[in-house]
Amino acid sequence: MLTTAGFIVRMLLTLLTVFGTYNPSGYSYYHWIGMEDTGHWTLKLFVGTVMIFLIYTHVLATYRSMKLIGMLLVAVIYGVSVWMLWDYGLLDLDNPTTLTLTLLTGVATLLGTGFSWSLVRYRLSGQVDSQNVIPP
């Protein structure tokens, strides 16, 4: 059963995965892999494998729960929201850092929503899983 705390934990895991893979601050797996040091390649390979597994799991869960049309709808809703914020002057997309952070947040929002979507759908429709039924 999905709780608010469970949804927040899933979104935080997704944000950590997306922003841990790449972010413009310079503290990401992408920047760590490109450093000139020659040591710790086994650790970098292990972390990279875990990151690939997490991204694959998120993308697969999102695709299975939302399908392509649901993913497109979430992307359109996010895109129109960003456009509206830019149109009202609340978001400066001329700054490359802001643009990158906005795009990464959009990817994280899409994957985080998809990661929890099947549970959200069951809650919205009132369906109950047989494992979550409490006997009288």
Is the separation of the CB atoms in 117 and 66 below 8 Å?
yes
Tell me what the mean pLDDT of segment 52-57 comes to. 95
Residue whose entry in the numeric block shows the structure tokens 């549970």:
119
pLDDT exceeds cutoff 80 at 130: no
pTM of the predicted model as reported, rounded to 2 decimal places: 0.83
Segment 24-32 mean pLDDT? 93
Q: Tell me what the pLDDT averaged over the chain comes to.
A: 89
Q: Is residue 39 predicted with pLDDT exceeding 90?
A: no
CA gap 131, 70 in Å, rounded:
27
- In this predicted structure, the answer to whether residue 48 has a pLDDT above a threshold of 90 is yes
